[in-house]
Every structure is written in C-alpha cells, then in structure tokens.
Structure 1
Amino acid sequence: MEAPELAAQTATWRAEHQAVLEALSDPAVLRDPARLRQVSRREKELAALVEAAEAVQRAEADRAVARELVAHAGGGPDRDLAREELEHAETALEEAWAALRSLLVPKDPDDGRDVILEIRGAEGGEEANLFARDLFEMYRRYAERRGWDVEVLSLTLSDLQGIDQVTLVVKGPDAWQRLKHEGGPHRVQRVPATESQGRIHTSSATVTVLPQAEEVEVEIDPADLRVDVFRSTGPGGQSVNTTDSAVRITHLPTGIVVSMQDEKSQIQNRQKAMAVLRSRLRRLEEERQQAEASSLRRSQVGSGGRSEKIRTYNFKENRVTDHRIQLTLYKLDRILEGDLDELVDALLAAERAEQLAQPLAEAASATPTPSGARRALT
C-alpha cells in the first residue's frame, strides 16, 4: 500500500470511527446489549487501526527527513550520524507496518464461542469405532488440561464398546480457537484389537467441529420439523428405557437428522437435539455462502475416506502427522493423553502466516464493519 492509499484508507477509518462513536451515544444502541457489544468492539478496532496507520505515516515522514540528512551530510562523523538516524527510521517504519498488518489480520467471528464436537467411526468397521473412542478420550483429556467443561449430548456405543457416534459440547473461552482445525477425517494405522494375526490395518474416524449457534441466530420454522419419539437403545439394539424419551428431529428442507437419547426426559433430549440442529444449519448456511464466493476451504468431513485424511496416527512408530502443515511428531502416546498444544499451536501459526501474507490493501478492504456483520440464518 502506497502513501496516498494509506492516507485514503486512514481517512475512511477515521470517518467510520466517528460514526461508531456517535452510535455509542444512540439510545437505541444503548438499550440493545448485543448491539452495544458489537459497536463497542468495532470502536476499539477502529481506534487501534487509526492509531497504527498514523504511526506508519509518522514513521514514513521521519524516514524522509533522515534521507534528506544523509543526502546533504558531509563526510566524517556527520554522515555516520545521519546514516545511523536513517537506519533507526527504517527500522521504526518496518515495525509500524508490521503492527498495522497485524491489526488487519481478519478476526474469526466465532472466537469465544463454545464448540459442538461430533466424532464418528468411518471406514474400517469396528476398528474405526474403537479409534473414534480414542479420539473422544483424547479431546476429553485435552479439555481437562485447558480447563474447559465437557458435556456429552449423545453417545452411541458399538458392540465392542467403541464409539459409533458421539456429540459433545466443549465450553471454554478459547475452545473454538483451539479446536476449529480438528475437523476432518483422522486416519489410524495400527494392529487392531480385532486382528488375530498381527497385521497393521488402516481405519478412519471423522471429526466435525461446529461453533455453537445461539437460538436467536438461526430461525427454524416449526412446520419444517418432523419430530419422532422412541425408546432409547443400547449396543445391539436392546432397549435401555421403558418410556418414549428418545427424540429424532428431521429438518425437512435440508434433510438433516439429529437424534438424542441420553436423557431420561423427552424435553431435555429435544432441547439438546435442537441445539445441535441450529449449529448444523448455521454451518450449512456458511458453507453455502463460501461456495458462492469460492473463497474458503471444503467441508470438513468429506466422505470420511482413509485417503482424505487430515492427520495420521501411526501406533507402530509412535508418530502423528498433520498433512495440512506437513508436521510430524513422534509423541503419539502423549498426544492421545491430551497433549495437543504443539499440534494446535502449529496449525494456528500456519493460519496466521497465511493471513499475514495477504496483500495489505486487500486486508484493509476486508476489515468488517457493523453493517457487514454475520447475518442471522433463516
């Protein structure tokens, strides 16, 4: 971004900052807590952007003065001093640009949300279900390390006590930030408990990570729902309840089906099912928008095939490889115990590096405004 472009962008930020300050004194905004939080957050963002842009402009002016001093300095100590001043000015300018670019890195609007995590056995039969259970325990232990709360919404065990499907809510201020890259097919290479001849098998389980949607964000027409109730069942289909407390909700326009049976109360199961449905519909709408813009990555889970893996867990070599960032760690045993921070930090660092590589002018034009905030899903 050249100086005239920066000056024009700074003027735009100043004008918006003034408008936001006026909005903060609007009684309608003050009466709406959600709107007030949004506008207050934007005011802080704009104030920081204006301050950083002005710092760049001051640093550029200082460098221009230093260049003049070097151009007109004589020989000896005066010239050396002028060159030293120019070096300081150029360093300060680089730092000012870095600070501005950091502010322009797009912020994830879902940061701070709780997470709905779904794990399913995929390819590999019963071994896939046993691996799904390992993943469930890994994330549960990671949550304990991070001080997050975990609530299991739905759990279906397989015949060998693996996990056919589990849905849980992970609650913590940084849960979304640190779990959002976990979505996708996870591949395991090991000798299964079901293998009698010691052969290594390859299986997979899928992980879906959704930011938990608030009720006000997703409007669902009751006429679009088919609600079925039935008795809860355990592995093998045996009944575990004598009342029709389990709930299956089908969203007719999309065909999304959510079942809950862990609670003894039909009302509680319905509430949990609706929470999961809202989050899935929210993600579906986001993916539709992303597909139209052709700007973001594919859906997390794909077909769950072993060849679509985002990560491989090799038990023989005690190795975990994340294929998206080509990172291999020989600490599988510790990772399964919940020691995920090194993997997560590397994924976040790669995300940030990609964002910082975005041209500054493009990043500036992409900064959100209150009117461009995520719209409610209907």
Structure 2
Amino acid sequence: MSTPDRLSVLLDEHASLEKELADPAVHTDQARARRLSRRYAQLAPLVETARALDQARDDLGTAHELAGEDASFAVEATSLEARVEELSDRLREQLLPKDPDDDKDVILEIKAGEGGAESALFAGDLLRMYLRYAERRGWATEILDAVEAELGGYKDVAVAIKSRSPGGDDGAGIYARLKFEGGVHRVQRVPVTESQGRIHTSAAGVLVLPEAEEVDVTVDPNDLRIDVFRSSGPGGQSVNTTDSAVRITHLPTGIVVSSQNEKSQLQNRESALRVLRSRLLAAAREEAAAAASDQRRSQVRTMDRSERVRTYNFPENRIADHRVNYKAYNLDQVLDGDLDAVIDALDRANTAELLAAGS
C-alpha cells in the first residue's frame, strides 16, 4: 500500500473511531471501549501531524503567490518550506508499520541467572528500577508472583504494568516503551558476600510480554493441568498453611506458569492464567514474525553472561546498552527509574532500521 493510501485508511479509521466513541452504548462494554480508546489515542498524533502538514502546505502556497508583491513573504516561504519538510519526515515515521502490541499493558518477568546469590540481588535491583520507572510514568504495577532468594532479591519475579485510566491516556504505549528491555542484563560490582573487594560479574534475564486479553488468546480448559501446592518463602520455610499456590501446565505447548503471591487459590489461579495467556500470545506473535522475516529481532532467551543486551557497571557508575552503543555515567539515576534516555536511544535505532528497510 502506498503512503498516501495508508494515510487515507488511517485517517478514515480515526474518524470512524471518533463516531463510535461518541455513542454511549459503546461504553456499556468496558473492554471494547478501552480497546477503541487506545486505538484512537494511538492514531491521534498521526492525525495531528497530517492536519498540520496540510495547513503548512496551504500557507506555503499562499506565501509563494504573494512573494512577488511583498519580499517579506519570500522569507516566510523559506521558513514554511523547512516546516513542511519537518512535518513530512515526522509523518513518514508515524506511518511506519506499528507493532500490534505497542499499546498493550505488560507482564514483565525477571529471572536470576549466573552468579548465584548476587544474581538474585541484581534481579531485585532490576525489579525496583522498573517499578520506579512505572511510578515516574504514572503506570500501575502489581506483583503477580515472586520467588525470593535466601540472601535477598529474587530467583524469579513477575510484575504486571498497567495503565491507570480505562482509555490508557496515561500509559498508551507501555509495551512500546518496554519491549526492548527484554534480554540478558549483566552487572559488574563487588558483591556484599565478597570479602576481598573483587569485582564480580553476574546476570539476570528480563522477559517483556504484552498482556493478552481473553479476546487475544483462547485457552481451552481441557488443555490445562492445574496443580496446587503450599506457598513457601526463602529457604523453603512455610508461609502458608493451605495449598493456595497454583501451577498451570499448558499441555499442547509445555508452557508452565505458577503463582503463589496471593492469599487464595482462586487469585493465584487467575494470576497464573494472565501470565499464561501473555506467553501464548507472545509465542504466536513470534511464530508469525519468524515466518515473515528471518531477521526479526528477538529477546535473548538464555541466561549466559555473554548474551547480554546491557551492562550495569557499579564501580564506574556506568550503564551501557550493547545493541545501540549507548553509554552513560548515571547508573545510580537509571536504577532509580530514570530509564527514558536509554529507551529513547533504542526506539530511535528501531525507527531508523524501519525507515531504511522501507526506503
């Protein structure tokens, strides 16, 4: 589809969504209203740019017509030409194919890898970093499952990150902002257990999944094996005297998820199903993308220190993202949730890659 045709289709979609959202009957179905509102918000910047570009082109035409009578219009025409070029470039970027999951909420999982106790402590640092980032962005967070380590931190933790408003105005694009966080994160520092002051390297894995709604993934109850067990804390100490923890195995794929963070078996079952649906959606998206392109960028699945996407160097207060050669010396601020600069660098690199592929 040509660029003008694609723009026309998206402008028509925006107008149609505006009419639908003006119908009170639509808002009786909250899930549908939220889905439509998110798409409407996603298209709004493109519509704004298209309208501004049309206006700038009209103004430029008028300036050219009047330039022969008044020299000041020639100066204005030069300024308007730059404006038209700027808006044309912005519109070209906004018309790039979008990830269908960009406006979804997220389930983020962090798993300790190589490094033992230090890796678990680092997983705890990463969790705090993402929770603080979510707080800065005005997003809501919910710990779905957490397996704590004996010396602190986490062996495994899953957190849901969601928009606070039904329409997603405060958080449209949560997955778009966090999707490049997936991969192996490496830390270099002196562990608290190190008596000689030597710097150690360990790693933790991050997996970012768009949260699936029931309309995205249908889970057949007959495909599930559900086991219950007793929740336990660090070192296997019982923290619950009832079998409230839940483990769900999706038999067709072999995917296993568990939840023991909630007090009731029913709540843990629902939390585990949320994670399962998101993993199934991610697997389906990955399979489709792999069929379309062998060059698709995927999240690193192993916990090997050599397969890192980012390094956190504490002695130098340095953060480095190896995919885009990003480097900064504000690690303390990043770990406190100041992630926008590195995320912006990854987003710009992805945009440039898409533009190059389409040119």
TM-score range, shorter chain: 0.7 to 0.9
The corresponding residue for 2:92 is 101
C-alpha distance 127-21 of structure 1, shift in aligned 2 (>3 A) = closer
1:251 aligns with 2:242: no
Moved more, 9-18 or 182-191: 9-18
The corresponding residue for 2:117 is 126
User: Where do 1:305-344 residues align within 5 Å?
Assistant: 305-344=304-343
- The offset of 1:320, in angstroms, is 0.8
C-alpha distance 61-357 of structure 1, shift in aligned 2 (>3 A) = farther
Describe the SS at the equivalent of 1:328. strand
Unaligned runs of 5+ in 2: 164-169
Residue identity opposite 1:253 in structure 2: P
Query: May I ask how many residue pairs the two structures share in their alignment?
Result: 344
Check conservation: 1:24, 1:40, Cα contact below 8 A: no
- The offset of 1:335, in angstroms, is 1.8
- The offset of 1:93, in angstroms, is 4.9
- The offset of 1:132, in angstroms, is 0.8
TM-score, L = length of structure 1: 0.76
The corresponding residue for 1:13 is 8
Moved more, 121-130 or 109-118: 109-118
C-alpha distance 11-152 of structure 1, shift in aligned 2 (>3 A) = closer
Distance 1:104 1:15 in 2: 9
TM-score, L = length of structure 2: 0.80
The corresponding residue for 2:167 is none
Distance 1:18 1:315 in 2: 49
Check conservation: 1:310, 1:323, Cα contact below 8 A: yes
Q: Deviations over 1:122-157 (max 9, x none)?
A: 111221111111111222222233332221111111
- The offset of 1:38, in angstroms, is 7.8
Residue identity opposite 2:197 in structure 1: G
C-alpha distance 127-85 of structure 1, shift in aligned 2 (>3 A) = closer
Unaligned runs of 5+ in 1: 361-378
Check conservation: 1:52, 1:99, Cα contact below 8 A: no
- The offset of 1:287, in angstroms, is 0.6
The corresponding residue for 2:279 is 280
Q: Deviations over 1:99-144 (max 9, x none)?
A: 4313313344334432211111011122111111111122222223
C-alpha distance 21-150 of structure 1, shift in aligned 2 (>3 A) = closer
Check conservation: 2:38, 2:103, Cα contact below 8 A: no
Check conservation: 1:52, 1:100, Cα contact below 8 A: no
Residue identity opposite 2:119 in structure 1: A
The corresponding residue for 2:188 is 189
Distance 1:92 1:197 in 2: 60
Distance 1:165 1:18 in 2: 42
Describe the SS at the equivalent of 1:161. coil
User: Where do 1:199-210 residues align within 5 Å?
Assistant: 199-210=198-209
Describe the SS at the equivalent of 1:284. helix
The corresponding residue for 2:142 is 151
C-alpha distance 86-161 of structure 1, shift in aligned 2 (>3 A) = closer
User: Where do 1:1-378 residues align within 5 Å?
Assistant: 9-10=4-5, 13=8, 17=12, 34=32, 37=36, 41=40, 87=78, 90-91=81-82, 93-95=84-86, 97-172=88-163, 173-174=170-171, 175-294=174-293, 297-359=296-358
Distance 2:292 2:335 in 1: 37
**Aligned-residue RMSD, C-alpha:** 3.9
Distance 1:332 1:316 in 2: 10
Check conservation: 1:319, 1:332, Cα contact below 8 A: yes
Residue identity opposite 1:203 in structure 2: S
**Greater radius of gyration (CA):** 1
- The offset of 1:299, in angstroms, is 3.1
- The offset of 1:81, in angstroms, is 9.5
C-alpha distance 156-54 of structure 1, shift in aligned 2 (>3 A) = same
- The offset of 1:88, in angstroms, is 6.1
Moved more, 333-342 or 162-171: 333-342
C-alpha distance 323-31 of structure 1, shift in aligned 2 (>3 A) = same
